[in-house]
Amino acid sequence: MFRLETEVDKARRDLLRARLRDANRAASPILRALRGTPDERDVPLHVWAVNDRTDDLAGGLVGHTWATWLHVTYLWVDERHRGRGLGAGLLAQAEHLATTSRGCRSARLETWDFQAPRFYEKQGYEVVCVVPDYPPGITEYTLTKRLG
């Protein structure tokens, strides 16, 4: 018999993650080969656009690299600076760092229909997944790009 518990438990979460990672490695020779390599762990990658005069944040990109992939988690540009190429510059810099210093060959990201799917397509990304009504009334897109 088992009981089901619903409380948030960080120690159990970490244990579950470790056990899942071990099971994935046992099932996949590709994931097993990552063990002990620099590609085994997520490595943060951040790019910031900071105003030289005021130190205000004009935009930024937060992501990470893992297993030759750049994952863009957040990309934001202050409304006052949109349409001037700043977002494209942030993305290009992240892609450059990912390829030249981390050996990445691909990138991926998620965006919603009201955010920037067309912007990413202009930067060479392709839609590989569409999730309608996530959250309700919104469509989520997953896009990828081959780098280099």
pLDDT for res 89: 98
C-alpha span between 59 and 118 (Å, rounded): 19
The domain segmentation of the chain, as residue ranges, is: 40-146
- pLDDT per residue as tens digits for the range 48-82: 999 999 999 999 999 999 999 999 999 999 999 99
**Exposure pattern of 87-113 as b/e (b: 16+ CB <10 Å)?**
beebbeebbebbbeebebebbbbbbee
The owner of tokens 């280099």 is: 148
Cα(51)–Cα(112) distance, integer angstroms: 28
Please state which CATH number belongs to domain 40-146.
3.40.630.30
Task: Report the phi/psi class of residue 83: left, alpha or beta, with left for phi > 0 and alpha for psi in -120 to 50.
Answer: left
111 phi and psi, to 5 degrees?
A: -150, 160
Tens digits of residue pLDDT in 94-123: 999 999 999 999 999 999 999 999 999 999
Query: Which tokens is 92 given?
Result: 């290009």
Give pTM, 2 decimals: 0.90
Per-residue pLDDT band for 144 (boundaries 50, 70, 90) equals: very high
Cα–Cα distance for residue pair 114/122, rounded to 1 Å:
16
